[in-house]
Chain A
């Protein structure tokens, strides 16, 4: 009996397709409880690999006989060993290639739609962490919004479509993941745009992204219209692209809204958050397709794996947009907040260019769920 490697891409596709999966996660219990592979139809069993060094006999009654068992660990090594042991015991077992480390870095591109003047918009689903980033391609030019640190994935994607990256944007200074924006801009000679109010401490050159800026991608004038929408951070800026799509950054998600506390200023920014959501967004067309920078739950994924919804639908369904009482709203976004993302201060400093941790440290800093929302 042999085992086989399952790639993050294959696993992502299975989760998008809502296939039945059985995952044997052999990391420590607290790591598993903190952050695991999520999907609508996944059954799990968690036991640390070191409990199984003498054999897997003790857990056979917890495992399915007629289904492939996907063994998952932090970096792959232990999962290969356990998958082989299961295989020798007569079960069908595979392991996740690269472990949770690879899972955390996997980006799955999903096409969101066509642009009126020609061109497309893609969403990059970072399924392991819930981060969403975007690429707009039109007539040989590409713009990237809220890129993760896996810069090559975007550069290769653009190259395969014969597009040159000309503009790179971050909707805000991220606290939950390390931005790849500066790296992509450097490598492709593109302009890197940041909201100046979030960039007061950055150590590098950038173009100031102000509300009302219009940036054209390709000859066919795909307008990217910047809308100042503070609240998650003081600089948070949304984009309306091609009069069809609203990239809401970390202000508005499908089933939740942004939290205002990650720069330590929850009380100050509550009013901004409310105004952005309840006034500025209210003035926009309800037909806009909202494309957020995060998702929190697998239920937010559409059938094709994308994360999007009409703005009008969110005004009807999203609890965070339907709290009439301002005091109640203030309480919701400042009290009972989820734990802050892992290493969020260090991540912010990295995104400001103040510190330059190595790749291994960057990975460690991003371990875990993103936790940028309140519900």
Chain B
């Protein structure tokens, strides 16, 4: 199983409730908004609890992988993505992107969410380059093709689209709102 990149990993294996959540909450304080934590736990109840806690605390629960007896939970720290003003002029809707994908046209779908977000749920054709790693990987992208940039809500993809434009890309379209409302087919690391 390919590893999901995370910003911090905490080990709560062998610990009973409430410790997995107590440790996660504490570690979360040291994370920046939008960063991803991986929590290893063996307490089976931790799966339901981390989901419920994430929801109540405003964090984004990404998913849980099972590796033998070990549960690996992935949570992204709350960020105020939605509040950020979007500036990239070329935008499209989820529906239009879905139609485009249906035509089989040769386009690039660039998913700029964190690796773990992508891992649990992404459009089959999408390639993953998290926003924070875009500059160093920008040469992987073909300037001749139309690039649809997508994230969860359209904010990170807006920043990514601006960055690409600044690097001379001319055919860049931001998909709004993005994966939070995506209704088409997706794939997951969980299979």
Contact B56 A49 (CB under 8 A): no
- Provide the A149-188 mask, 1 if CB < 8 A to any CB of B, else 0: 0000000000000000000000000000000000000000
- Among A31, A50, A75, point to the contact of B16 (Cβ < 8 A): A75
Is A48 in contact with chain B by the CB < 8 A criterion? yes
Task: Give B1-39 interface residues, CB cut-off 8 Å to A.
Answer: 16-19, 21-22, 25
In the complex, what residues of A have CB within 8 A of residue B21's CB? 49-50, 53
Q: A75-B17, A77-B16, A77-B19 are in contact. Are A50 and B53 (CB under 8 A)?
A: yes
Contact B45 A75 (CB under 8 A): yes
Contact A48 B56 (CB under 8 A): yes
Complex Cα distance, B18 from A73, in Å, reads: 10
Complex Cα distance, B21 from A78, in Å, reads: 10
Complex Cα distance, B17 from A77, in Å, reads: 6
Q: A48-B52, A48-B53, A75-B45 are in contact. Are A53 and B17 (CB under 8 A)?
A: no
The number of residue pairs between A and B whose CB atoms lie closer than 8 Å in the complex comes to 40
Contact B45 A53 (CB under 8 A): no
Is B135 in contact with chain A by the CB < 8 A criterion? no
Task: Give B32-69 interface residues, CB cut-off 8 Å to A.
Answer: 44-45, 48-49, 52-53, 56-57
Count of chain A residues with a beta carbon within 8 Å of a chain B beta carbon: 16
Is A74 in contact with chain B by the CB < 8 A criterion? yes
Complex Cα distance, B21 from A50, in Å, reads: 7
Complex Cα distance, B25 from A73, in Å, reads: 19
Complex Cα distance, B43 from A74, in Å, reads: 12
- Provide the A41-76 mask, 1 if CB < 8 A to any CB of B, else 0: 000000011110100000000000000000001110
Give min CB distance, A293 to chain B, whole Å: 29
Contact B56 A73 (CB under 8 A): no
- Among B19, B45, B52, B53, point to the contact of A74 (Cβ < 8 A): B45
In the complex, what residues of B have CB within 8 A of residue A50's CB? 18, 21, 25, 49, 52-53, 56-57
Query: Taking CB as reference atom, which chain B residue is nearest A74?
Result: B45
Complex Cα distance, B57 from A77, in Å, reads: 21
Give min CB distance, A86 to chain B, whole Å: 15
Is A301 in contact with chain B by the CB < 8 A criterion? no
Is A2 in contact with chain B by the CB < 8 A criterion? no
Is A322 in contact with chain B by the CB < 8 A criterion? no
In the complex, what residues of A have CB within 8 A of residue B49's CB? 28, 48, 50
Q: A53-B25, A75-B45 are in contact. Are A81 and B18 (CB under 8 A)?
A: yes
Count of chain B residues with a beta carbon within 8 Å of a chain A beta carbon: 15
Query: Taking CB as reference atom, which chain A residue is nearest B53?
Result: A50
Complex Cα distance, B45 from A31, in Å, reads: 11
In the complex, what residues of B have CB within 8 A of residue A29's CB? 52
In the complex, what residues of B have CB within 8 A of residue A48's CB? 49, 52-53, 56
Give min CB distance, A146 to chain B, whole Å: 29
Complex Cα distance, B32 from A118, in Å, reads: 75
Complex Cα distance, B17 from A75, in Å, reads: 8
In the complex, what residues of B have CB within 8 A of residue A360's CB? 44
Query: Taking CB as reference atom, which chain B residue is nearest A28?
Result: B52
Give min CB distance, B16 to chain A, whole Å: 5
In the complex, what residues of B have CB within 8 A of residue A51's CB? 56
In the complex, what residues of B have CB within 8 A of residue A78's CB? 17-18
Query: Taking CB as reference atom, which chain B residue is nearest A26?
Result: B18
In the complex, what residues of A have CB within 8 A of residue B44's CB? 360, 364
- Provide the B57-94 mask, 1 if CB < 8 A to any CB of A, else 0: 10000000000000000000000000000000000000
- Which of A28, A29, A364 has the most chain B CB within a 10 Å cutoff? A28
Query: Taking CB as reference atom, which chain B residue is nearest A360?
Result: B44
Complex Cα distance, B45 from A48, in Å, reads: 13
In the complex, what residues of A have CB within 8 A of residue B25's CB? 50, 53
Complex Cα distance, B18 from A77, in Å, reads: 6
- Provide the A3-39 mask, 1 if CB < 8 A to any CB of B, else 0: 0000000000000000000000000110100000000
- Provide the A181-215 mask, 1 if CB < 8 A to any CB of B, else 0: 00000000000000000000000000000000000
Complex Cα distance, B83 from A71, in Å, reads: 40
Contact B22 A74 (CB under 8 A): no
Complex Cα distance, B19 from A49, in Å, reads: 11
17 extra interface residue pairs, beta carbon distance < 8 Å, beyond A28-B52, A77-B18: A28-B48, A29-B52, A31-B48, A48-B49, A48-B52, A48-B53, A48-B56, A49-B17, A49-B21, A50-B18, A51-B56, A53-B21, A53-B25, A77-B16, A77-B17, A78-B18, A360-B44
List 26 contacting pairs A-B, 8 Å CB cutoff, sorted by A: A28-B48, A28-B49, A28-B52, A29-B52, A31-B48, A48-B49, A48-B52, A48-B53, A48-B56, A49-B17, A49-B18, A49-B21, A50-B18, A50-B21, A50-B25, A50-B56, A50-B57, A53-B21, A74-B17, A75-B17, A75-B45, A77-B16, A77-B19, A78-B17, A78-B18, A364-B44
Which residues of A approach B to under 8 Å, CB–CB? 28-29, 31, 48-51, 53, 73-75, 77-78, 81, 360, 364
